[in-house]
Amino acid sequence: MNPILEAPTLITWVGSVNWTVGFLTTVGIFAIVALALNLQWGYTGVFNFGVVAFFMVGAYTSSLLTLEPASEFEDYAFGLEWPIPVGWAAGALAAGVLALLVGLPTLRLRRDFLAIATIGVATILRSVVNSTEGLANRGAGLNGIPRFLDGLADGADYRWVMLGIVLVMLAFSYLVLQAATASPWGRVLRGIRDNEDTAMAAGKHTTVFRMQSFVLGGMMMGLAGAIFAHRQGAISPTGFSDLFGTFLVWTMLIVGGSGNNRGAVLGALAVGFFWFGTPLIQEDLPDFLGTRVFQLRELAIGALIIIFLLLRPGGLLEEQPRVSRFVPKPGRRPAVATAGHEEGGP
């Protein structure tokens, strides 16, 4: 999946530093996606099982807009050589439009219908890319996607620039979401998640709020996908699997603690370390395990989801049951507690 993370030369100092930089860059991108899913699921109870679809739309949109025109050996649309930040913005926008289109027929219905629909969107996007001529070079994928701020460092040193970009974008996403979820708007989202009927009775148009949360989260996923594409330099439909792009992020959020932005970032780091770190110890494992390390880590991802749901539904960092900064901490006022939502709503 990731050329930088597959380097087996961990024993050397340079090798370890390189791996760590690459790892933090990847995990930083995943953390943005986990934050976006936290907005949708953790705060609003919007059940999105197609995270990878929004990620993929962002990646492809930004790549197609910033690439050079297709050569005679390639077959893709656009190739407009737009500036990369414009490509990122367009990627986020396209993912937001996709969220709007998927949300319109499903968000007013049972919550699990959205999950069923979104799981389908990812499948269809992959088959559209794979079988449509003149769209995105089909299964061969897009190559030579330009780097952002390429002039700042050359060769191997660019990895530090990339890490910096990702950390800035992560900090930006985190601050935006912290502000949004602490605002009255964020309070409505939590109200809808915990008891939609009460929120409706309070005069809130719940479907509209859920749509806003879904679209904003989708846009952040698109942005993360765009950053990912320019970091990888090459993307293809097979790289955007449900397991890698959707269920890994769900595990990160459930382990970290849904409803807590710091939890989402911590979960991305912890689960990411497990996911990208296990191939490194492959050679040290006994043969029986070593040859199956990729299936074993999948098995562990599934087990982590179940174990956390059963034993620690709040995740590593549980949500702080605080209504507003003007209300005293719940320790002193037990009546404010909003217990019972740990499962993520009814």
Partner 1 sequence: MIDIIQLVIIGIIVGSIVGLGAMGLTLSYGVMKFANFAHGDSMALGMFLAFIVVGDLGWAGGNIGRLSFGWGMIPAIALAMAGVAMLNVGADLTIYRRLRSRGAGIIAMAIASLGLGIMVRAVVQMIWGSAPQRYATGINPALTLPGDLKVKPDQFFIVGLTLVVAFGLYLLLYRTQLGKAMRATSDNPELAEIAGIDTQRIRLSTWAISGALTALAGVMLAIQAQLRFNAGFEFLLPLFAATILGGIGNPWGALLGGLIVGVTQEVSTEWIDPGLKPGVPFVLLILILLVRPRGIFGSSV
Closest CA to 22 of 172, 171, 222, 156: 156
Interface with partner 1 by CB under 8 A: which range of 61-69, 111-119, 143-151, 217-225?
111-119
- Name which of 53 and 162 has its Cβ closer to partner 1: 53
Asked if 92 touches partner 1 (CB under 8 A), the answer is no
Q: Select the residue interacting with partner 1 from 250, 260, 261, 267 (CB under 8 A).
A: 250
Give, for 100, the enclosing helix (H) or strand (E): helix 84-106
Closest CA to 64 of 139, 128, 141: 141
Structure tokens that stand for 36 in this block: 């976006």
Tell me how far, at minimum, the Cβ of 238 lies from partner 1, in Å: 12
Our CA angle for 20, 52, 315, nearest 5°, is 65
Asked if 244 touches partner 1 (CB under 8 A), the answer is no
Per-residue binding letters, 311-340, with partner 1 (x by CB under 8 A): --x--------------------------x
Q: How far apart, in whole angstroms, are the C-alpha atoms of residue 120 and residue 114?
A: 10
Asked if 134 touches partner 1 (CB under 8 A), the answer is no
Q: CB neighbours of 295 closer than 8 A, spacing ≥ 6?
A: none
| CA atoms within 13 Å, Cβ hemisphere of 285 | 14
Inter-residue contact 84 to 148 (CB < 8 Å):
yes
Inter-residue contact 21 to 14 (CB < 8 Å):
no
- Which residues face 142 on adjacent strands? 235
SS3 state at 327: coil
- Name which of 28 and 50 has its Cβ closer to partner 1: 50
Closest CA to 247 of 172, 299, 170: 299
Site for partner 1 in 253-272 (CB under 8 A): 254
Site for partner 1 in 287-316 (CB under 8 A): 292, 295-296, 298-299, 301-306, 309-310, 313
The structure tokens 């009775």 sit at 201
Tell me how far, at minimum, the Cβ of 38 lies from partner 1, in Å: 14
Q: How far apart, in whole angstroms, are the C-alpha atoms of residue 9 and residue 6?
A: 9
Tell me how far, at minimum, the Cβ of 91 lies from partner 1, in Å: 22
- Name which of 8 and 346 has its Cβ closer to partner 1: 346
Inter-residue contact 318 to 232 (CB < 8 Å):
no
- Name which of 19 and 250 has its Cβ closer to partner 1: 250
Site for partner 1 in 204-233 (CB under 8 A): none
Asked if 67 touches partner 1 (CB under 8 A), the answer is no
Site for partner 1 in 31-50 (CB under 8 A): 45, 47, 49
Tell me how far, at minimum, the Cβ of 105 lies from partner 1, in Å: 5
SS3 state at 76: strand
Task: Tell me how many residues contact partner 1 (CB under 8 A).
Answer: 47
Tell me how far, at minimum, the Cβ of 113 lies from partner 1, in Å: 6
Site for partner 1 in 156-195 (CB under 8 A): none
Q: How far apart, in whole angstroms, are the C-alpha atoms of residue 232 and residue 235?
A: 7
Tell me how far, at minimum, the Cβ of 343 lies from partner 1, in Å: 4
Structure tokens that stand for 216 in this block: 């904003």
Interface ranges with partner 1 (CB under 8 A): 45, 47, 49, 105-106, 109-113, 115-117, 119-121, 123-124, 127-128, 130-132, 242-243, 247, 250, 254, 292, 295-296, 298-299, 301-306, 309-310, 313, 340, 343-346
